[in-house]
Amino acid sequence: MLEFSNYLFEMVVCVALAAAGIGIYLQRAELIRLRRLIRCEHEDRQSLDKDVAALLACSRNIGERVCSQDARQNTMLKKLDIIDLHSDSSGRQSYEQVRRMVEQGMGIDEIAEICDLRRGEVDLLNHIASHRSAA
């Protein structure tokens, strides 16, 4: 009987060790699975960080472009305020308008661009207008 109880004790110990081994194996497998999951989530987070950084850079660029466009638009509005919007019957800017723009310190090239004239035409109109005012 003593042999049977020793045998039974050894069987219980073997079963307990086998169960502990299986438990450790399952825990290790779960740990490996969780590490993979954490690695994937870390990679996804890095990708999202890059995407957010790109969006922020893009929004800054858009903001700068909007401000730049607004400044250009304000400049054009000021130029339009300078120009008398009345044109003569041929649709060209009058001599007086060119003379006023020159008096306000605008350059010949700028006047030519605004009035849709050639540089030589603006020079000629300025010359004629200055002679008329001198006479």
pLDDT(88) > 70: no
d(CA 111, CA 100): 10
pTM over 0.75: no
What pLDDT was estimated at residue 26? 96
Considering only residues 93 and 107, tell me which one the structure prediction assigns the higher pLDDT: 107
Q: What residue segments make up the domains of the chain, in order of their start?
A: 22-75, 83-135
d(CA 9, CA 118): 112
Asked whether 132 and 95 are in contact (CB, 8 A), the reply is: yes
What pLDDT was estimated at residue 23? 95
CA 10 distance to own-chain centroid = 73
- Arithmetic mean of pLDDT, 17-35: 96
What pLDDT was estimated at residue 91? 47
d(CA 115, CA 118): 9
Q: Can you give 81-127 as a three-state secondary structure string? A: HHCCCCCCCCCCCCHHHHHHHHHCCCCHHHHHHHHCCCHHHHHHHHH
Considering only residues 126 and 72, tell me which one the structure prediction assigns the higher pLDDT: 72
At residue 69's C-alpha, the angle toward residues 67 and 71, to 5°, is 70
Just give the CATH number of 83-135: 1.10.10
